[in-house]
Amino acid sequence: MKKFDYYKPQTSGEAFKLMEKHKGCARYIAGGTDILVRIKHGVMRPDALVSLTGIGELRGIQHNKGVTLGSMTLIRELERDPVLAREYPVLAQAAGVLASPQIRNVATLGGNLGNAAPSADCAPPLMVLDALLTIEGPGSKREVPIDGFFLGPGRTCCDSLEILTRISIPPPADKTGMAFLKVGRVSQDIAVINAAALLVMEKGVCRKCRLAVGAVAPVPLRLKGIETVIEGQEICDELLDRVGKMVEQEVSPITDIRSTEEYRRVVTGVMVRRAIRQALQNVC
């Protein structure tokens, strides 16, 4: 493994200066649960790592007309926060099945998103919650809907100097139900498929639908076309059967060490139907 320098700045400004100093040959690091494995296996060979864990402004959960999550908030904190569990259970559920307790104690929300893995467990829940991401760089700040954050496997819209600093989620509407489901080869494994659903119901009719899936396309995927089919409708078995078939055509999975393309395609349709049913049961 190549030797590298390690820095732990206390402010984002210090982090930007360090990255500028290394001129594209350094990488930001959060919990390190993914990037250190890649370095060990020679997939990455940075000259330096700039840790974001010492920047206090990037940590914490703030509840105020919605919720704001610092990018360095631990997955374990998401899992244990009682307000998230009550108002945004789809995210708390995803956090609770991400890897192992040991990993959740060091892995961060920003790291889970920033790795841009198609299977990232926190991505589909944040998509159905209409999350807005704040990205900052030297002298710049911008907000990006989470749908536009992922560009491909391992690629986001951030440039080499920018940091994902905050994730903002609007308050849930009345009569909202949500659910998260995941299939892995074994417990604590990376998702073979994951799915999230959010429904806002009014007098038996779906007024708002959000659906997202992971590990079945080059990026975590929002199923916008299928959402429009459900909105304005009563949710019945006939509709869900049609939705399941549409999902199978919408996704573009691959065959890899964890699963086959055919299995992923069929089971994604099943999981989306189940997530919708579970979200409907959870409407409150």
Q: Is the pLDDT of residue 202 over 80?
A: yes
CATH at 184: 3.30.390.50
Please tell me whether residues 79 and 160 are part of one structural domain: yes
Q: Give residues with Cβ within 8 angstroms of 14, minimum separation 6.
A: none
Domain stop point among 169, 186, 212 = 169
If asked whether residues 82 and 149 sit together in one domain, one would say yes
CA dihedral over 181, 127, 198, 209, signed as positive or negative = negative
Claim to verify: residue 61 and residue 157 sit in the same structural domain: yes
Strands 26-29 and 5-7 come out as unpaired
Based on the fold, state whether residues 64 and 163 are members of the same structural domain: yes
Tell me: do 182 and 274 sit in the same domain.
yes
pLDDT on residue 155: 97
Tally of structural domains, the chain: 3
Calculate the dihedral angle through the C-alpha atoms of 211, 212, 216, 219, rounding to the nearest 10 degrees. Answer: 140
Query: How remote is the C-alpha of 161 from its chain's centroid?
Result: 21
CB atoms within 10 A of CB 155: 11
pLDDT at 186: 76
Grade residue 43 by pLDDT with cuts at 50, 70 and 90. confident
Could you tell me what percent of the chain has a pLDDT over 70? Answer: 100
Does 42 score more than 90 pLDDT? no
Q: How far apart are CA 174 and CA 270, in angstroms?
A: 27
**Average pLDDT in the 154-168 region?**
97
Residues 148 and 105 in one domain: yes
pLDDT at 98: 95
Q: What is the pLDDT of residue 34?
A: 87
Tell me: do 164 and 186 sit in the same domain.
Answer: no
pTM assigned to the model: 0.96
Residues 62 and 163 in one domain: yes
The answer to whether residues 81 and 157 belong to one domain is yes
> 241-269, pLDDT tens digit by residue?
999 999 999 999 999 999 999 999 999 99
b vs e for 220-250, b when ≥16 Cβ sit within 10 Å of the residue's Cβ?
bbbbeebbeebeeeebeeebbeebbebbbeb
pLDDT for res 69: 98
Summarised one tens digit per residue, pLDDT across range 210-246 is 999 999 999 999 999 999 999 999 999 999 999 999 9
State the CATH number of the domain containing residue 12: 3.30.43.10
* Domain residue limits at 38: 5-51
- Do both 42 and 60 map to the same domain? no
Q: What is the mean pLDDT of the chain?
A: 96
Same domain, 181 and 225: yes
